[in-house]
């Protein structure tokens, strides 16, 4: 289906993203002390925004210490941009308060939904890729950006199901949501790989469909093999075919800030840094800065 494309929103006065074009790692509670004591040579840190929604205490303290040494990215998992109905204003307020306190270089969310009628599944559920969903999600992106007073990125999720009434390929939906919402894209290369295996599409074609200027960040993570499909666990090292896809992504998008994500079975900090170094080596291997 051809996408007609809504009118472009007038540009807002928003904070631009400022992550350095380097490798980053996810900061998790288990590594607070070691990270601050050893300050590994990585370019930036990313945390799940909601983990710092509390009013005070240890998490916020360590995050404030960490941001003194590294640029920070806030990555949300619970805003549910794709839910019908209004965005959760309380959630947005907590996110804005955190962003004001931490002054992150980047704020990102997911292109998915996770709540209906006050019930939250606290998971990333794919949308039907339809014109209706596109309107819902892009309106929410604009609302979130206006509320936060800054640009956000939206990330493609991995998925284990597809809706029969989807009329738009996922990659087109992602690009169009970013265009209509007026935001950037966080491209999760592992999620593309997982979904391409689960839904039998060509991951390289997915990359080719994304305009390079929209891509501001890349995620890499590990998956597990379930009995019938690949499961996006973020609990292992990045798999070899995902590294290959990442090389293609670097060719296409240039040197984009790249995160090693690890959320379950958290390994030693050294393992994260090692994976990040691998991404850095690939980034530096003859890839020029994006224009």
Partner 1 sequence: MPSLRDIQSAFVEALFGGKDDWLSNHILAGEMAPGARLDLYRNNVLHNYREALRAVYPVIERLVGEEFFRHAARRYGLACPSTSGDIQDYGRSFPEFLATLPGAHELPYLRDTARLEWLVHEAFHAAEHGALNLAALAAVPAQRYPDLHFALHPSCRLLASHYPVHRIWEANQPARGVAEGVDLRLGGVNLLVWRRRFEVEMAPLPAPAYALLQALARGAALGGACEAAFAAGDGFDVGQALRAWVLDGVVARFDS
Binding site for partner 1 (CB under 8 A): 50-51, 53-59, 61, 77-80, 83-85, 88, 91, 94, 113-123, 125, 127-128, 130, 132-133, 136, 160-165, 199-200, 226, 228-229, 231
Q: Compute the distance between CA of residue 145 and CA of residue 111 in angstroms, rounded to an integer.
A: 14
Shortest Cβ distance from residue 44 to partner 1 (Å)?
23
CB nearer to partner 1: give 40 or 59.
59
Shortest Cβ distance from residue 200 to partner 1 (Å)?
7
Shortest Cβ distance from residue 115 to partner 1 (Å)?
7
CB nearer to partner 1: give 107 or 282.
107
CB nearer to partner 1: give 15 or 92.
92
Token look-up 């640029």 returns 71
| Structure-token pair, residue 104 | 């992150």
Shortest Cβ distance from residue 192 to partner 1 (Å)?
18
Q: Compute the distance between CA of residue 181 and CA of residue 136 in angstroms, rounded to an integer.
A: 10
Shortest Cβ distance from residue 54 to partner 1 (Å)?
3
CB nearer to partner 1: give 11 or 117.
117
Residue 208, helix vs strand vs coil? helix
Extract long-range pairs of 89-92: CB within 8 Å, 24+ residues apart.
92/144, 92/147, 92/148
| Structure-token pair, residue 19 | 């992550």
The conformational region for residue 100 under phi > 0 = left, psi -120 to 50 = alpha, else beta, is: alpha
Within a 10 A sphere around the Cβ of 23, how many other Cβ atoms?
Answer: 26
CB nearer to partner 1: give 73 or 198.
198
CB 143 within 8 A of CB 180: no
Shortest Cβ distance from residue 12 to partner 1 (Å)?
24
CB nearer to partner 1: give 42 or 79.
79
Q: Compute the distance between CA of residue 229 and CA of residue 224 in angstroms, rounded to an integer.
A: 9
> Of 105, 87, 108, 93, which is closest to residue 55 (Cα–Cα)?
93
Token look-up 């997911």 returns 110
């Amino acid at each position: 289906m051809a996408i007609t494309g809504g009118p472009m929103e007038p540009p807002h006065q928003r904070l631009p993203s400022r992550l350095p074009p380097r490798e980053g790692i996810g900061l998790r509670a288990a590594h607070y002390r070691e990270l601050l004591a050893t300050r590994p040579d990585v370019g930036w840190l990313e945390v799940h925004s909601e983990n710092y929604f509390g009013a005070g205490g240890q998490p916020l303290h360590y995050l404030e210490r960490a941001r003194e040494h590294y640029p920070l990215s806030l990555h949300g998992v619970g805003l549910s941009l794709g839910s019908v109905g209004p965005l959760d204003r309380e959630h947005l307020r907590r996110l804005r308060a955190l962003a004001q306190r931490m002054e992150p270089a980047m704020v990102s969310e997911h292109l998915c939904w996770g709540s209906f009628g006050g019930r939250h599944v606290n998971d990333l559920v794919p949308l039907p890729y339809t014109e209706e969903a596109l309107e819902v999600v892009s309106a929410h992106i604009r609302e979130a950006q206006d509320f936060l007073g800054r640009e956000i990125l939206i990330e493609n999720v991995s998925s284990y199901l597809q809706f029969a009434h989807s009329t738009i390929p996922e990659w087109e939906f992602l690009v169009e949501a970013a265009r209509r919402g007026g935001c950037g894209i966080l491209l999760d290369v592992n999620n593309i790989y997982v979904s391409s295996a689960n839904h039998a599409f060509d991951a390289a074609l997915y990359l080719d469909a994304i305009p390079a200027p929209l891509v501001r960040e890349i995620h890499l993570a590990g998956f597990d093999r379930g009995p019938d499909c690949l499961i996006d666990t973020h609990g292992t090292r990045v798999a070899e075919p995902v590294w290959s896809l990442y090389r293609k992504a670097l060719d296409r998008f240039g040197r984009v800030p790249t995160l090693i994500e690890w959320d379950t079975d958290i390994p030693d900090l050294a393992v994260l840094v090692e994976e990040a170094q691998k991404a850095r080596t690939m980034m530096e291997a003859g890839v020029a800065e994006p224009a």
